[in-house]
Amino acid sequence: MLYKNLKSLFFLLKWEEIGEVDEDYAPIHTYQVCRVMEQNQNNWLYTNWILTEGAQRVYIELKFTLRDCNSLPGGVGTCKETFNMVLKENRYIKVDTIAADESFTELDLGDRVMKLNTEVRDLGPLTHKGFYLAFQDLGACIALVSVRVFYKRCPFLVKSLAEFPDTIPGSEASQLVEVVGHCVNNSLPLYEPPRMHCSTEGEWLVPIGKCVCKPGYEEISGACQVCKVGFYRSLLESPGCSKCPPHSVARQTGATVCTCEDGYYKIESDPSNMACTRPPSAPRNAISNVNETSVFLEWSIPLETGGRKDIRYNILCRQVLPEGRGLDECGPNVRFLPRRVALSNTSVMVADLQSHTNYSFLLEAVNGVSELAKDHPKQYVSLNVTTNQAAPSPVSVVRKGHTGKSSIALSWAEPDRPNGIILEYEIKYFEKEQDSSYTIIKSKDTEMVVEGLKPSSVYIFQVRARTSAGYGAFSRRFEFQTSPYLLCFSFRRCGYSKAKQDPEEEKMHFHNGHIKFPGVRTYIDPLTYEDPNQAVHEFAQEIDVSSISIERIIGAGEFGEVCCGPLRLPGKREIQVAIKTLKVGYTEQQRRDFLWEASIMGQFNHPNIIRLEGVVTKSKPVMIITEYMENGSLDTFLKKNDGQFTVIQLVGMLRGIASGMRYLSDMGYVHRDLAARNILVNGNLVCKVSDFGLSRVLEDDPEAAYTTRGGKIPIRWTAPEAIAYRKFTSASDVWSYGIVMWEVMSYGERPYWEMSNQDVIKAVEESYRLPGPMDCPEALYHLMMDCWQHERTNRPKFDEIVCLLDKLIRNPSSLKKLVNSSHRYEGKSGSAFTLICIAVLLFRTSFQTKHSIEIYKQKPEKKTQTKAKFIGSVVSFK
Ligand code: ACK
C-alpha cells in the first residue's frame, strides 16, 4: 500500500491560528476556537480546494485536543464537546460529528499534558476533481493540531515476470480493480495475459495467469536471460535452458531448437529433448526354413539401431531365373504373412512360392529417419533359398453348367499333372473389368455353384488346384454371364441355402492384391501403431475448433457429453454434426481410449456406418465429430414410435443395418456389441452402425456384464461361443444381428425381458430361443432363428442376409405370412423344430401385445400393473 498526501490551506472564520510548542517544545501550528462563554456559536474553518488526483476515496486524519466542559468553572450551559466535519464538492455535506476520546481539564493545562486525539474518516465515492473540507464549531473548546488528507494506491509491482503499474483503487469499499500486467522484456503471456486486482485498501490481490520467458530465454532473478551457446529452450512450459541432446548443436545464443549433426536426423514427432538419430544397420543372423513352397525367414535386430525404437523391416523377394538369366521380382501371387513391408517382428512367412525354384531375399531394417537419410547407403542382409516339391499344373478347362440370374454352375477337369493328391480347388471370380476386387471360394470337388452374382452380368472365373506341395498356377480366364433378372420370386435362392454351397467353402475377398483378409479394404487395428496419436491422425482429419459451434447437449457418453451443432469447413457447405467430448481432467489412457473410436470409425466409408467428420485434438476439450443422426439411437426411437411403421419400413431398417455389417465383416472388423442401442437413425430412417468405442472390451456398454472368465459381455446379444470362450467372429456378430432383428420387430422390447443373464445363458445353451414377435413376418423369424444357430458355420453370412432382405423388400407379399402360435416350426432342411414354451410365471403386459407365442400365462392381478416380472416364454428346437 502506498499513501499520497493531498495539499491544503485553511481559511478561518472566528477560529484562531496559533503558533505553539508541543510537549517536547517543538513548534506546532494549530487552529483553535474556545467560545464556550457565549451563546449561539457557529464558527467555521475551511480548507482551500483539494485536488483528488483521480482518487475516488480519500481519508482524513484529524489530530486535536478538546476541553472537558465539566472542568470549566461556573457551569457553562452552552459548552459543547464535539465539532462537525463537512465536505463540499458541489454542495455541503456533513461527513460526521467528531467527538474526542479524551478531553483535557484545567489540571492538564497546568501539567502541560496535551491529551491529543486522532480520528480518521474516509470519504467516497468522490465524483469531482477536487473538494473542500470545513470544520464547524458550535461552542466547543478545540485545538486542531493537524489535518492530513490522503488516498491509498496499489504500488508498482513486478510479479511472475509481469509488471503492474501504480494503480488507484476503486471507490466502493469492497471493489477490486482488475489490472492487466505487461510481460517484462523477452517474455510472453502463458495461456492468457496475467492479471491482478487492486483492492480499496491499496493491496494487490488474486493474481491470474503469468508471463514466461519466450523460447530461447530462461528466467533468472525475475528477468529473462538468453540461452547460452550449446543450450536451447523450445517450450514455454520448460523451466530453463537445457543442454542440446546428443548429436545436436546450438551454435548461437538464444536457440529455440538444436540442429542435428551431419548424418543425424530428427522427425517432427520426436520430442525436442530426444537425441538426433540415424538409420539402423542391416538385420543380423538371418536364417530361412523352407517348407514345401513356403519359406519362414527369421533374423535378429541390427547391431546399430540408430538410437531409435521404431525399427521396421522390409523384404525384397526375387526369383532366380534359370540359366543365369538374372533375377526377377516375385509376382503378386506370393504372399507375405503378416506383410512384406513395415514388419515390426523379426520374422515373416513367405507363401505360395513356386516349387523347385531359387529365390533371393533381401532384408532391410528401417526406422523413423530412414526416409530423411537419402545419402545413407542402404544396408541389406541377403538370403538364398530353394523351394521343394512341385505344385499341380494349371486346370486347363472350366465349363459352365446351369446358369441362373444370380448363380452359375461350374465344372472342370483335374490338372494334367496333379503332382500329388489334390486337396482342394480355389475358384477366383470377379465382375468383368472390376478385377481390383475379387472373391475366392474353395471346393473339394471339380464342380460347384457360384452364387450371389448380379443378374445379366459377365464374370471372369479362374480355378487352381492345391496339393501338399502348394497351389498350382491359376487356369486361364473364363468369361460367363448370368441370366437376366426375372420377376419370379423364391427367397431360398439366396446365398445361404447350404445345400448348394458347402459350409466348409470359405469365401475370401481380395482387393488390389491385399490378400488374406476378406473385403474391399482391410481394417487396421489401431493397436498395431506404437503411437496411438499417429493412428488417430492416419485415419481422422484434424478439425480446427473454430469450425464448430456447440449448440446443445444431446446426451451423455462414456467419456463426456455428446452435443450437436453446425460444422463449417472451408470450401464445404455447413452440416449438422454430433460432437462427442472428452471431459476435463482425463488421464492419458482415457484420452487414448476415447480417440480409439475415431481411429476405427475413420477407416470406414459406408452409408450404413456412422461417418467420422474428424477430431479436435489440438485444443481442449478433445472432440470426435460425426455426422448428426436426427432420430438418435434405434432402441429409444422404436420405443417412442411403438407400432408406427409398416413392415417394409422395418425391413428397410434391418436391411441397412445388415448392409453396414456386411461392410464391416468384409473389412475384417468384428463389432462385438451389435445391439439396437448402438444403431443410430437419421431423419430419413436410415440406420447406421455406431459405437466402435472400445468394442474389444465393451467397457462402455451398460449392458455388458462380467462373465466367469472375467471379460465384459452384453450377454443377451452375444453368441454362445463368444460368451463361453470369447470366440468373437463375424458369425457371432450375425447372432447379435438376429437379436437386433428381434428388437426391431418388437419395437424396442428388451430381449429375454426381465430374465437374469444367468438364466439367459442357460436357456440358450438348452436350445431355447426367443419367440417370434407379435405380427412378425414368418420369413423374418426364420432368418432370426438361422442367425441363432448354435453351430456358427450354419449361420447365414451378412451378404446372404442382405440378399434375402432385398428379396423380401422386392416381393412384399412374402412378408404377409405372420408368425402364428402353432407349436411346430418346420426348418428349411426338413428337420422339425419343436416349439416348447416354458411356463410364463408372471406375465408382462407389453409382451402380451407384441408376442404371439403365449402358451401358459398368468394374467396380471390388476390391469394397470405394468412392472410385473416376465420369467420366460422361449422357443427351443431340438
Ligand atoms: O438415444 P440418443 O438420443 O442417441 O442418446 C444417445 C446420446 O447421444 C449418448 O450417446 C446420442 N448420439 C450419439 N451419437 C449421435 C449422433 N451421431 N447423432 C445424434 N445423436 C447421437 C445417442
User: Measuring from atom 5 of ligand 1, which residue has the nearest CA?
Assistant: 555
Q: Which of 236-250, 365-379, 516-530, 724-738 is predicted least confidently?
A: 516-530
Kindly provide the residue ranges of all beta strands, DSSP E only, lying in 67-186, ordered along the sequence.
82-88, 92-99, 117-123, 130-137, 141-153, 157-159, 162-164, 176-180, 182-183
629 CA from centroid of ligand 1 (Å): 7
The pLDDT tens digits of the residues spanning 89-131 come to: 999 999 999 999 998 887 777 776 678 899 999 998 999 999 9
Residue 516 has pLDDT above 50, yes or no: no
| pLDDT, mean of residues 207-215 | 92
Ligand 1 pocket, residue 193 CB under 6 Å: no
Task: Kindly list the catalytic residues.
Answer: 673
> Residue 702 has what pLDDT?
65
Cell representation of residue 621: 476439450
Out of 624, 629, 637, 694, give the residue to mutate to test ligand 1, the one with the largest number of ligand atoms within 8 Å of its CB.
629
Alpha carbon of 628 to ligand 1 centroid (Å): 8
Question: Measuring from atom 8 of ligand 1, which residue has the nearest CA?
Answer: 555
User: How many A from CA of 748 to the centre of ligand 1?
Assistant: 16
List the beta bridge partners of residue 310: none
Please tell me the predicted confidence (pLDDT) of residue 743.
Answer: 97
Is ligand 1 within 6 A of the CB of residue 689?
no
Residue 594's CB: how many other CB atoms inside 10 A? 27
Return the residue matching grid coordinates 457565549.
38
CA 580 to centroid of ligand 1, rounded, Å: 9
Amino acid at the residue 668: G
Say which residue, 528 or 664, is predicted with more confidence. Answer: 664
Give the relative orientation of helices 647-666 and 798-810 as an angle to the nearest 10 degrees: 150
Q: Which residues contact 324 (CB under 8 A, 6 or more apart)?
A: none
Q: Is 581 in the pocket of ligand 1 (CB under 6 A)?
A: no
Nearest alpha-carbon partner for 298 in 309, 312, 284: 284
From ligand 1's centre to the CA of 798, what distance in Å?
Answer: 25
Average pLDDT, stretch 637-650?
95
- 358-382 in b/e form (b: 16+ CB < 10 A) is ebebbbbbbbbbbebbeeeeeeebe
Phi, psi of 731 (to 5 degrees): -70, -35
Q: And the C-alpha cell for 66?
A: 478538546
Cα–Cα dist 435/459, whole Å: 10
Per-chain mean pLDDT for the chain: 84
Please count the other Cβ atoms lying within 10 Å of the Cβ belonging to residue 445: 10
22: left (phi over 0), alpha (psi -120 to 50) or beta: beta
Q: Is the CB–ligand 1 distance for residue 680 below 6 Å?
A: yes
Cα 113–119–125 angle (5° rounding)?
165
CA 848 – CA 861 distance, rounded (Å): 14
| Section 7-33 average pLDDT | 79
Q: Is the beta carbon of 686 within 6 A of some atom in ligand 1?
A: no
The DSSP secondary-structure symbol of 773 reads B
User: Which tens digits make up the pLDDT trace of 489-509?
Assistant: 333 344 454 333 333 334 454
Give the least confident one: 69-73, 119-123, 124-128, 227-231. 69-73
565 lines ligand 1 (CB under 6 A): no
Cβ distance 735 to 670 under 8 Å? no
For the chain, give the percent of residues with pLDDT over 90.
58
Measured from the CB, is residue 681 less than 6 Å from ligand 1?
no
Whole-number Å distance between alpha carbons of 615 and 567:
12
Q: What is the pLDDT of residues 559-617, one digit of tens each?
A: 888 999 999 998 888 999 999 999 888 888 889 889 989 999 999 999 999 999 999 99
Among 551, 552, 554, residue to substitute to test ligand 1 (most atoms within 8 Å of Cβ): 554
Cis peptide leading into 245, omega within 30 of 0?
Answer: no
What are the pLDDT digits (tens) for 798-830?
999 999 999 999 898 999 999 864 422 333 332
Q: Report the range of poorest mean pLDDT among 294-298, 351-355, 443-447, 761-765.
A: 351-355
Query: Which ligand 1 atom sits nearest the alpha carbon of residue 556?
Result: 9
The reply to whether 859 sits in an annotated binding site is: no
The CA 692 to ligand 1 mean position distance, Å, reads: 13
In the numeric block, the cell 452380368 is attached to 457
Confidence of residue 485 (pLDDT cuts 50, 70, 90): low
Minimal-distance CA residue to ligand 1 atom 21: 632
Please determine, for residue 190, whether its predicted confidence score (pLDDT) is greater than 80. Answer: yes
What confidence score (pLDDT) does residue 21 get?
Answer: 76
Backbone φ, ψ for residue 400 (5° rounding): -100, 135
Contact 363/297 with Cβ under 8 angstroms?
yes
* C-beta separation of 429 from 437 below 8 A: no
760-806 tens-digit pLDDT: 999 999 889 999 999 999 999 999 999 999 999 999 999 999 999 99
